Amino acid sequence: MPSSRARSTPPSAAPARRSPCPVACFLDLLGDRWTLLVVRDLLLGRSRFKEFVASPEGIPTNILSERLRRLTEQGVVEQIESSPGSKHLAYRLTRRGQALRPVLESMRAWGLKHLRGTRAALEE
């Protein structure tokens, strides 16, 4: 990640935009099979790399590393110490990331209603 990026500027590392449509731009950043699962895990309170790896979908570690890097660059996730003074890193959602909750909730609602045999872990 290159250096100084102004604090409130939308992130630069995003892929080129295909159009100004907010749905298209959303998908440019988050439209794949894995990225929103990491966001789901963060919403569920998981914060450590090994916790994401332990999720039932079995995200490959190289994909996870790349997605965490991109989400951090995009200001959706930030790195924290896993506990005060710990060497271990953890991750949490920024406000921008927490604002993805309604998207996940609407996907969950659709899945529960329209895809048989699904069950939700995210209760709130």
3-state SS, 53-91, equals: HCCCCCCCHHHHHHHHHHHHHCCCEEEEECCCCCCCEEE
Residues between 50 and 89 with contacts to a second copy, criterion CB under 8 A: 55-58
Q: Which of 1, 54, 80, 121 binds a second copy (CB under 8 A)?
A: 121
Nearer to a second copy, 45 or 117 (CB): 117
Taking phi over 0 as left and psi of -120 to 50 as alpha, with beta for the rest, 45 belongs to left
Q: How far apart are CA 25 and CA 31, in angstroms?
A: 9
Q: Which of 4, 7, 33, 85 binds a second copy (CB under 8 A)?
A: 33
Q: Which of 1, 12, 31, 81 binds a second copy (CB under 8 A)?
A: 31
Nearer to a second copy, 89 or 103 (CB): 103
Token duo for residue 8: 């409130």
Where on the chain is the footprint of a second copy (CB under 8 A)?
A: 9-10, 18-29, 31-34, 36-37, 40, 55-58, 96, 99-100, 102-122
